[in-house]
Amino acid sequence: MRTHHKNYESINRVGVVAAPAVVVVVVVVVVVVVVVVVVVAVVFSYLSSSFPFTSAALSLARRLSSVVMLNEHDDFFISLLTFGMGMCSVLEFANASKGTIYWDHVFIVVFAWPRYMMQQISLGLTAFITFSRALSVLRPFKVKQIVTRKRALGIVCIFYALFGICYVPAYSTAGLSWQIVNIPSMPGEEHSNQTKTIQLRMWESSNRQAVHMAISIYNTAYLFVCYSLVTTCSVGIVCSLTRSSIIQRAQIALGHESKCSNLNCISTGSDTQTHRSSVPAREVGFYLSNKTRRAARVVTLVAVLCVACNFPAIVAISTMLFDSQFSIGGTREHVMRAAFSVVYFSEAISAAGNMLIYLRSSSRYRKTFHSMFQRNE
């Protein structure tokens, strides 16, 4: 994201006092440590019988493993970074850019960029989950061999590593540093008395504009690819499930109109009993049809939520790509801030909505979620 100095500040940089801010390094280290701890916890939770862990450590490992299996680690980071962005906005409004820290730049470098990276990871994992579900419908007997638990965990780690590498150019051409700046005593009056102070601000390298353009093109293309994959797989799943439901009903209507017999009934009695309490195959067929309709409804809800909540992001990023004034310091800065407020709010709805949908529709997801809090269903 490109940044410019505000017009009312009339800043003349006298010198750079420090190297790139330590805050960025600390945030990156914390994220890496959390990811490593989660991965190690998952591995140890499955190999716990071979290691002398205490019960407390094993319980922590299992809970961290549950977070990974629930695919809520990215949404957790998004929520945490969104809270940090809100705090920066409040502090910037309170200090009016006169403090020792320019919170608008901390907002961008420390919280906005990592949050957008986590949002891209979340969108990529959603596309992967939708693709795996499409495989489960199209290739139901091979999906367990193609999408295994180890491969799913490996893909999660690959997403984190890949996007961490992709954001190296962003942080190598811009960052935070302590700078000596001149700030006018009265905002909006550039020729008023100025006060020289040291502020934590954003620096940019000479090739920052080219890197910014490349990142914007990549982000826009990535969003289009993920949206296309999610939409295509979701439509394929719904069409396949609907067609199988229609075929199933037609087969039942044509071939099972006779009375219940041993060939078209399902036994509900025990093997030791001579009497067989049976249910007509027609009722079983309609039960399966309702089940497939529920599965199609869940997939459709996830796809619609993903596309609808992330659509403002692709509009805002595309606008920034073609309009240089749609940025901080540009003539349409206020419009950009309002647009990204909608983007952040809609993405927060998506992060919370995914969990609620799976929590209500998936008994396995609900069981894993309750096990994290030692709650039995």
| Helix/strand/coil for 329 | coil
Residue type, 236: G
Query: What fold does the segment set 7-251+278-370 form as a domain?
Result: Rhopdopsin 7-helix transmembrane proteins (1.20.1070)
- CA quadruple 370, 371, 372, 374: dihedral sign: positive
| DSSP label of 2 | -
Residues 222-239: b if buried by 16+ CB within 10 A, e if exposed: bbeebbebbbebbebbbe
Residue 179, Cβ density class (10 Å: 0-12 exposed, 13-18 middle, ≥19 buried): buried
With b for 16 or more beta-carbon neighbours within 10 A and e for fewer, the 15-38 pattern comes to eeeeebbeebeebeeebeeebeeb
The crossing angle, in degrees rounded to 10, of helices 55-69 and 363-372 is 150
Q: What is the pTM of this model?
A: 0.64
One pLDDT digit (tens) per residue for the chain, 377 residues: 444 444 434 344 344 434 444 444 445 555 555 555 555 555 555 554 444 444 555 555 555 555 544 455 566 677 777 777 777 777 777 765 566 777 778 888 888 888 888 888 888 888 887 888 777 777 777 777 777 778 877 887 888 888 888 888 888 888 888 888 776 665 555 555 667 778 788 888 888 888 888 888 888 888 888 888 888 888 887 777 777 767 666 666 665 554 454 444 544 444 444 444 444 444 444 444 566 566 667 777 877 888 888 888 888 888 887 887 887 767 887 888 888 888 888 877 877 787 788 778 777 777 777 776 665 44
Integer Cα distance of 31 and 170 in angstroms: 17
Which own/partner contact pairs does 292-297 have at CB distance under 8 Å and 24+ positions apart? 292/241, 292/242, 292/244, 292/245, 293/241, 293/242, 293/245, 294/361, 295/241, 296/237, 296/238, 296/241, 296/242
In this structure, are residues 144 and 114 in contact, taking their beta carbons and an 8 Å threshold? no
**Which residue(s) pair with 331 in the sheet?**
none
Q: What gap in Å lies between CA 84 and CA 74, rounded to an integer?
A: 15
Show me where the domains of the chain are located: 7-251+278-370
Contacts within 8 Å (CB) and 24+ apart, 256-262: 256/280, 256/281, 256/282, 256/285
